[in-house]
Amino acid sequence: MLFKSLRIRHYIASIVGACLLGGVLSWTLLTALHSSVEERQRELQEHSATLQEIYELRRAVGEWTTMVLDGCDDPALLEAAAKRADGIRTRSERVASDTLAYRYAAELTLVNEYRVLTLEGIECAANLNASDPRYEEQRAELLTGMRALVTHTGDAVDRVRAHIERGIADVESTVEARRRRLSLATWIVGAAYAGLIVGLWRWTVRCLIVPVQTLTRESRAAAEEGTPFHLVPDGPVEVRQLTESLTKLFGDLVSARDHLEEKVRLRTEELERSSRVKSEFLANMSHEIRTPMTAILGHAELCKDPETSVDEFRRHLEIICINGEHLLTVMNDILDVSRIEAGRMPVERTLCSPTKIVSEAVAMMEGQAHEKALEVHVQSVGTIPEMIETDPTRLRQILLNVIGNAVKFTESGAIELTLTMSVADGGGQRLAFEIRDSGVGMAPDKLDSVFEPFVQADTSTTREYGGTGLGLSISRAFARMLGGDLTCESEEGAGSRFLLTIDPGDLDGVAFIEVEGCVDFVDAPLPARAESESQTFEGRALVVEDVAVNRRLICRLLTKAGLEVEEAENGQVGFDKAMESFSQGRPFDVVFMDLQMPVLDGYDATRRLRDQGYPGLIVALTAHTMPEERERCLAAGCDDFATKPIDRAAFMELLASLAQDASERPAGGAGGLLAVSVKPRRK
């Protein structure tokens, strides 16, 4: 448990501390042993010096005693011997200062006593009287005594020398023993220190390096080979924490990898399904495009036949128009899907009547329902608001798609459309449109797929009934934009029930009404032509269009409407003609300006005209239907916006709208000429 709580700094501190402690202890022990050896060596040197002094003392004592014995008859020699006694005393004192003096103190004392007695003998010899009859006896006794003193002195000095020599031998043996102990201690300390280093290294390897190496090896294997990372935390706290963190990280990475692989698998399946669906869609599109194109080209060829009667010619033209409108519907559906997926489909909420929108949608399905002798019943359950706040165009398009599908897949019977109020899951009121049919229906497992782009219930449906498979996808997207949803319930062979809900907006102060009725199309008359299609106008128009076929079509429509028309094949020619008429004081009442042209496009041509002060009406012509495209045209200086392909009825309504605006504009208003530009001509 202690090791598990250690950190890397603790390991380093332990290693450094152990090394320092071992070093200090080794140094202390070796220093003590070395000091002891040096001390004994100094003692040995002192003893050696003392021994040398003993030799000198022994020599001096021998010379002195010889001098004493030889000078018994010579007073001068005796006097010299007495003087040399002080040197012997000095040497004996130096010998007495040795550390081993305690061993031969008695002998030194005897030497000093013998020296004193010798001096007394010298003094006695000096006092002998040769005339004394006992002179010879006294002299013989004195010489005998002095010889004994000399002998005893030499023996004492020899004993001192022997003591010192034995002391020196003892010290030498002690020094040698201590030297051996010092050498042994040095080896022991070195071995112990080496053992300490090896032990610390093994401890460091086991507790620090091995866990780090194991961690590195396992993490590298997990990263490079994708093997599972399972490692028991070991070593210092930091290494164990790193192991735990890496274990968690690799676990998360493995989970993320598995999750990513699952997502990739699902995405791959989705892409494969999407690719398969789009392939089917392209096949359907090819069919949907080639079928009307075949009809258009075939009937156009028949129109060229000189033997074709007028009725047949009209019939061919009707078929060409019907198939052309179908192609336009296909293209509009594709554009709607693109705008929805790009998030560029606008919603413009205005006050509108839901019953009016329903009536318009039902009326627009008149032709198809009339052909199948179907009835459409419209009713409400309870009351519904007379006015709602929503986008009427999108709501009408949803109803057209759903009712159109009901008419398409119903061979007999009736279609019921019921309006009612409901409550949304999150609170708030919703206006619901329920459309029931008695058609072929769908299998329950196909209900979700019919709302996906490019999908129908199955390919046989496409082959039998046609269609792009985009209508319901677009309708659901529009329904959700309007604050509701579009759902479906169906049973194969028993018809379908579609439920559309939208947010009706603020209903405070709005009146509520009931709706009930039946629209029978069996004997319904064909729709009458719009009044605007039969109107004629007065004025001058300039058509700026680079495509000759489109230019001739627009010129033909304007000419038939009573306008005087001029043409221009690009923006530069159109700019020159417009400015020429303006400089002559007769500007064109309206200029139809295509936007994408060579030399000079419609945007720049319009900007240049406005920069030059051109006051006439300019209407943009473009195949783009995006709202931002309309804003771009208006920002360039255009007064209105018309889309291609040109629909004659819509085009005539545009002319009528321009004439109405001109008639209502006061004289002298902005532009000056707008009040007399385009107006209806009386027949």
Instruction: Give residue-wise pLDDT tens across range 89-120.
Output: 676 666 666 555 555 566 667 666 666 666 66
Amino acid at 302: L
Which is more confident, 326 or 125? 326
Give whichever of 222-236, 405-419, 525-539, 645-659 has the largest mean pLDDT: 405-419
Question: Distance (Å, rounded) from C-alpha 22 to C-alpha 33?
Answer: 17
Cα 580 versus chain centre, distance: 63
Identify which of 340, 349, 410 has the alpha carbon closest to the alpha carbon of residue 375.
410
Q: Which CATH number fits the domain 350-520, given the four candidates 1.20.1090.10, 3.30.300.90, 3.40.1450.10, 3.30.565.10?
A: 3.30.565.10
Task: Give the architecture (CATH level 2) of 531-680.
Answer: 3-Layer(aba) Sandwich (3.40)
Q: What is the mean pLDDT of residues 553-559?
A: 89
Q: What is the mean pLDDT of residues 383-395?
A: 91
- Tell me which fold the domain 261-345 belongs to: Helix Hairpins (1.10.287)
- The CA-based angle 365-366-369, given to 5 degrees, is 85
Question: Distance (Å, rounded) from C-alpha 87 to C-alpha 70?
Answer: 19
Instruction: Say how many C-beta atoms besides its own lie within 10 A of residue 215's C-beta.
Output: 21
Amino acid at 560: K
Residue-averaged pLDDT of the chain: 76
Give whichever of 258-262, 277-281, 494-498, 572-576 has the largest mean pLDDT: 572-576
pLDDT tens across 525-544, in order? 434 444 444 577 888 999 99
Close Cβ partners of 80 (under 8 Å, ≥ 6 residues apart): 67, 71
Question: Which is it for the CA torsion 189, 194, 197, 199, positive or negative?
Answer: negative
Q: For the chain, which residues make up each domain, given as ranges?
A: 3-215, 261-345, 350-520, 531-680
Using the predicted structure, report yes or no on whether residue 333 has a pLDDT greater than 80: no
Using the predicted structure, report yes or no on whether residue 575 has a pLDDT greater than 50: yes
